[in-house]
């Protein structure tokens, strides 16, 4: 035993760091550490080479942590097979599944929390709970059933049903972020995402993304997208994409519907990414548009000369010059260019990005900032409206409508920050 204590003393700090990194609370970590040490004491005589003690005991710790997550997943109906431990860890990726478990427990009554803690967290049999609480076994069973039902009602993520594809959950509120200018030169990047919808149109791809209005920062619209197979439109081959939009913003609502389903056909080539067709239901009628339908398609889904699409190879052209919130551009009709290199810290993680700005190329009066990492994926997308954009509809300027929102100036014109978008790529 003296030898065990000596080896444990040498490596105890490493074991503690490992467990506390893996688990969401110091309280749970301390309990798991005790289990690790007890298991190590019981099995120390099976360790044939003491030089392997550190790897051996960390292996025990890893198994105990995995048991912890499996136990919570089974108990609280979290689909663990669809998520990783990192996604269940606190702090590094924003709002997470394990946080929601604890938050839900905090909403329950003391009776519910007590019986759930004893049964699920402490693994106490129902008969022992009855003795501990001095109540009949039947009362324990009834109280446990009620507590589980109350938990299910308050838990924000429904349990997985057979055949359901679970995507990463978007947070209710926009993650805090910081954008800081890098002194390094902007890098070139290959971005294969569909303009405005963020999915890469390749077989097997799927994506969730959300729109967050400012300054409330609350999730206003969410989209789930998936490539379901190959498709051909007027002899041009692409892929078919399903889109499910919940609580669509006004311009996506198709007559005020709370849930809108769309289908895209899109094509990705070595140089461009473009839409070939779009369809949706409105007032019980399916509307279908293709790239041959002229303005009715091009006005919403077309991009580039003759609908060639957006270029996927992006490098700085020098068309857009940015000095903090002041932007100046060359005098040309098509203005999409890299406007600097920036570090974006969001959800506790820092990304090295280039900022691709779109100056009214798709929508007059609208400027967007798209922060893209070196993998060609969008980290953050931000929209700004020219102060008089859609004035006839909203009946006020955006500086009046959103007086405290961030502003930028483009060629002397004021643009006001409206909303942000993030995807599950960063979650």
What pLDDT, in 10s, does the model give residues 354-372? Answer: 999 999 887 788 999 999 9
Nearest to 406 by CA among 370, 382, 423, 371: 382
Distance CA 65, CA 28 (A): 10
* Angle between helices 26-43 and 53-76 in degrees, nearest 10: 130
Sorted by sequence, the CB contacts under 8 Å of residue 157 that are 6+ apart come out as 78, 97, 100, 169
Q: Is the pLDDT of residue 91 over 50?
A: no
pLDDT above 70 covers what percent of the chain?
84
Sorted by sequence, the CB contacts under 8 Å of residue 67 that are 6+ apart come out as none
Q: Is the pLDDT of residue 337 over 90?
A: yes
pLDDT above 90 covers what percent of the chain?
43
Distance CA 423, CA 425 (A): 5
Considering the chain, what is the average pLDDT of its residues?
A: 82
Q: Is the pLDDT of residue 129 over 70?
A: yes
| Cis, bond preceding 215 (omega within 30 deg of 0) | yes
383 phi, psi to nearest 5 deg: -110, 140
Q: Is the pLDDT of residue 20 over 90?
A: no
The alpha carbons of the chain give a radius of gyration, in whole angstroms, of: 27
pLDDT for position 111: 84
- For tokens 């995402």, name the residue: 193
Q: Is the pLDDT of residue 16 over 90?
A: no
Highest mean pLDDT among 41-45, 99-103, 150-154, 312-316: 312-316
Domains in the chain, please, with CATH?
Answer: 2-87 (1.10.1740.10), 177-189+312-427 (no CATH), 193-311 (no CATH)
pLDDT for position 89: 33
- What confidence tier does 31 reach under pLDDT thresholds 50, 70, 90? confident
Q: Is the pLDDT of residue 172 over 70?
A: yes
pLDDT for position 257: 65
- What confidence tier does 99 reach under pLDDT thresholds 50, 70, 90? very low
pTM of the model: 0.61
pLDDT for position 187: 96
Q: Distances from the Cα of 147 to the Cαs of 75, 110, 115, 192, in angstroms?
A: 12, 10, 8, 48
Nearest to 422 by CA among 368, 360, 379: 379
- What confidence tier does 404 reach under pLDDT thresholds 50, 70, 90? very high
pLDDT for position 295: 74
- What confidence tier does 380 reach under pLDDT thresholds 50, 70, 90? very high
Nearest to 105 by CA among 41, 30, 210, 24: 24
Q: If you average pLDDT over residues 176-189, what whole number do you get?
A: 94
3-state DSSP: the chain helix, strand, coil percent, rounded to 5? 35, 30, 35
pLDDT for position 131: 86
């Amino acid at each position: 035993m003296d030898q065990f204590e000596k080896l444990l003393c040498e490596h105890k700090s490493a074991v503690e760091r490992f467990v506390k990194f893996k688990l969401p609370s110091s309280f749970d970590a301390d309990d798991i550490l005790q289990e690790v040490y007890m298991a190590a004491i019981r099995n120390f005589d099976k360790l044939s080479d003491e030089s392997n003690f550190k790897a051996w005991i960390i292996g025990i710790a890893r198994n105990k942590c995995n048991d912890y997550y499996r136990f919570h997943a089974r108990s609280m109906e979290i689909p663990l097979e669809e998520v990783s431990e990192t996604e269940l860890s606190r702090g590094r990726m924003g709002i997470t599944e394990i946080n929601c478990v604890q938050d839900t427990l905090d909403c329950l009554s003391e009776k519910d929390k007590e019986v759930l803690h004893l049964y699920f967290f402490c693994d106490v049999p129902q008969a022992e709970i009855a003795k501990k609480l001095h109540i009949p076994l039947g009362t324990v069973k009834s109280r446990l059933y009620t507590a589980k039902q109350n938990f299910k009602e308050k838990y924000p993520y429904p349990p997985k049903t057979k055949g359901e594809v679970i995507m990463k959950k978007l947070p209710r509120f926009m993650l805090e972020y910081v954008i800081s200018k890098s002194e390094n030169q902007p890098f070139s990047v290959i971005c294969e995402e569909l303009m405005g919808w963020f999915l890469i149109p390749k077989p097997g791809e799927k994506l969730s993304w959300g729109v967050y209005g400012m300054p409330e920062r609350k999730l206003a619209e969410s989209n789930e997208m998936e490539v379901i197979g190959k498709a051909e439109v007027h002899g041009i081959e692409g892929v078919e994409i399903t889109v499910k939009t919940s609580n669509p913003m006004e311009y996506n609502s198709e007559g005020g519907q709370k849930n809108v389903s769309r289908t895209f056909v899109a094509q990705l080539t070595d140089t461009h990414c473009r839409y070939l067709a779009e369809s949706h239901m409105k007032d019980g009628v399916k509307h279908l548009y293709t790239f041959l339908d002229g303005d009715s398609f091009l006005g919403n889904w077309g991009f580039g000369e003759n609908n060639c699409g957006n270029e996927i190879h992006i490098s700085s052209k020098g068309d857009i010059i940015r000095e903090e919130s002041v932007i100046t551009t060359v005098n040309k009709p098509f203005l999409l260019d890299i406007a600097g290199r920036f570090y974006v810290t969001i959800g506790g993680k820092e990304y090295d990005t280039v900022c691709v700005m779109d100056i009214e190329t798709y929508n007059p009066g609208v400027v967007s900032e798209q922060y893209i990492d070196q993998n060609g994926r969008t980290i953050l997308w931000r929209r700004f409206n020219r102060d008089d954009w859609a004035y006839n509809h909203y009946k006020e300027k955006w500086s009046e409508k959103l007086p405290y929102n961030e502003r930028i100036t483009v060629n002397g014109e004021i643009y006001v920050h409206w909303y942000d978008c993030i995807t599950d790529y960063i979650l």
